[in-house]
Amino acid sequence: MKEIKVGLLGCGTVGTGVAKLLMENRDLIRARLGADLRLKYVADIDTKTDRGIRFDEGVFISDGRQVINDPDIDIVVEMIGGETIAKDFILQAIQNGKHVVTANKKLLAAQGNAIIKAAAAKGVDIGFEASVGGCMPIIKTMREALVGNRIQSMVGILNGTCNYILTQITDTGISFEEALAQAQANGFAEADPSLDVDGHDTAHKLAILMALAFGMEINLKDIYLEGITNITPMDIEFAGECGYRIKLLAISKMVGAALEARVHPAMIPVDNMLAHVNQSLNAVTVSGDAVGDILLYGRGAGMLPTASAVISDLVDIARNQLLGVRNRVPMLSYQNENIRPIPVRPIDQISTHYYFRFSAADHPGVLSKIAGVLGDCGISIQSVHQKGRKVKGAVPIVMLTHKAREADVRKALGIISSLEVIKDAPVLIRIEGGEDE
């Protein structure tokens, strides 16, 4: 039986999952691939930790260079993470003519264009299904299943930590800080959670998906970013009363000849499937001109779900290798000569629906003052909910708007903030995923 030889760099959580799956489901993979996907090396500088796997003699080594320099290795799996050593190893593996599979969204979002160019120049493939959405085949779906569609938009819940925290606040009414502490205690958040809760990780994933969806290079820097640290149980409760859930969303839409590209907390109506994606689960809705909306849902992280996506890439490359072909599907969906820059709209220029919460003095005439400013700025109010409860001597006034321009909204909120009757900075949460007017 033919063999495709795999070398694994990095044996942390996901690396261990890849090794486990390749070994435990070896017969299954062989029965489907028609060849053996053999794990020749697992390299990690930490040679002490027990991963619960019995490797054959000579498989576990400490030096990654041995993997990328072995002429026998067909595919290198990079599971080191980060942007330094991982990048050096990937580029060297490419130079040595090896295909590469990686889950490193941070590296791809920041330096993926250079890596993909290097791979294209050398004629090798880069598989990165595991970089977005864990086990959900969103990369394969975008690159292959939706090949006949002009993609119009996508909206995703792409960070399990944030979704877990928001679910906890929603279900139990605890504060962000308490929910974060719980997430850390349960292994759903890192000691330094900022990469997750500030939205960076979600933006990395969105940058990768946008490239695949729209035929552009990876563009991280133009994505607008807001994290979930300011989300309060009160706003989640009010959202619920209005028929919405709050989620951290990755959003990109083609509007005319430009893109919206943004990561921020948003309210989603409960009749949208995304509203029911809870705990650490991920999901993404993609809209195309032929399919309408399709949604994928699954575990966005974790040892074996992520390893499953890695195996999918490995088998794809192995199938090509067995047939003597490569670069069968363009790495960024489009043939290189058709990848073009697409301008991204600054956040000021987007239009959407909004939720506002004002903390106002309990005086007659307050509502008409606020409504007057909004009207003057061209913002049309869909509904007003004045809440009975007093919070620190002020009454919360909640308003939902019709579609409005963000620039107008910011102008209006600036004016309203300066009114004497307003006791606290107004809260703004965008509303997504409803029917458009």
Residues recognised as catalytic: 205
Distances (CA, A) of 305 to 273, 326, 347, 385: 21, 26, 34, 43
Contact between 329 and a copy of itself (CB under 8 A)?
A: yes
Instruction: Tell me if 352 contacts a copy of itself by CB under 8 A.
Output: no
Beta carbon of residue 304, minimum distance to a copy of itself (angstroms, whole number): 4
Binding of residue 335 to a copy of itself (CB under 8 A): yes
- Residue 350 near residue 155, CB atoms below 8 Å: no
Applying CB under 8 A, the span of 61-69, 71-79, 269-277, 358-366 interacting with a copy of itself comes to 269-277
* Structure tokens given for 95: 């130079």
- 429 lines the binding site for a copy of itself (CB under 8 A): no
Site membership for a copy of itself, residue 297 (CB under 8 A): yes
Pick the binder of a copy of itself from 2, 28, 172, 414 (CB under 8 A). Answer: 28
Burial of 185 (0-12, 13-18, 19+ CB in 10 A): exposed
Which tokens go with 381? 């109010």
**Block residue for tokens 């490239």:** 211
Q: Is 319 in the site for a copy of itself (CB under 8 A)?
A: yes
In the Cβ-directed half-sphere of 332, how many Cα atoms lie within 13 Å? 26
Strands (E), 270-327: 281-288, 292-299
Q: Please identify, using beta-carbon distances, which residue of 271 and 348 lies nearer to a copy of itself.
A: 271
Among residues 101, 136, 213, 429, which is the contact residue for a copy of itself, using CB under 8 A? Answer: 136
Q: What torsion, rounded to 10 degrees, do the Cα atoms 253, 254, 255, 261 define?
A: 50
Residue 65 binding a copy of itself, by CB under 8 A? no
By the rule CB under 8 A, 1 interacts with a copy of itself:
no
Of the CA atoms within 13 Å of residue 109, those in its CB half-sphere come to: 22
User: Would you count residue 334 as binding a copy of itself (CB under 8 A)?
Assistant: yes
Nearest residue to 73 (alpha-carbon basis) of 131, 124, 108, 148: 124
What does the H/E/C string look like for 313-332? HHHHHHHHHHHCCCCCCCCC
Q: Is 400 in the site for a copy of itself (CB under 8 A)?
A: no
Q: Given candidates 58, 71, 148, 364, which one binds a copy of itself under the rule CB under 8 A?
A: 148
**C-alpha distances in angstroms, 361 versus 364, 366, 388, 395?**
9, 7, 12, 6
23 binds a copy of itself (CB under 8 A): no
Among 294, 367, 394, 407, binds a copy of itself (CB under 8 A): 294
Query: Is residue 309 a contact point for a copy of itself (CB under 8 A)?
Result: yes
243 binds a copy of itself (CB under 8 A): no
155 binds a copy of itself per the rule CB under 8 A: no
Residue selected from 45, 114, 121, 147 as contacting a copy of itself according to rule CB under 8 A: 147
Q: What is the CA radius of gyration of the chain?
A: 24
Rounded to a whole number of angstroms, the minimum distance from the CB of residue 351 to a copy of itself is 26
Binding site for a copy of itself (CB under 8 A): 17, 21-22, 25, 28-29, 31-34, 129, 135-137, 140-141, 144-150, 215, 271, 273, 276-278, 288-299, 304-305, 307-309, 311-312, 315-316, 319-320, 323-325, 328-330, 333-335, 338
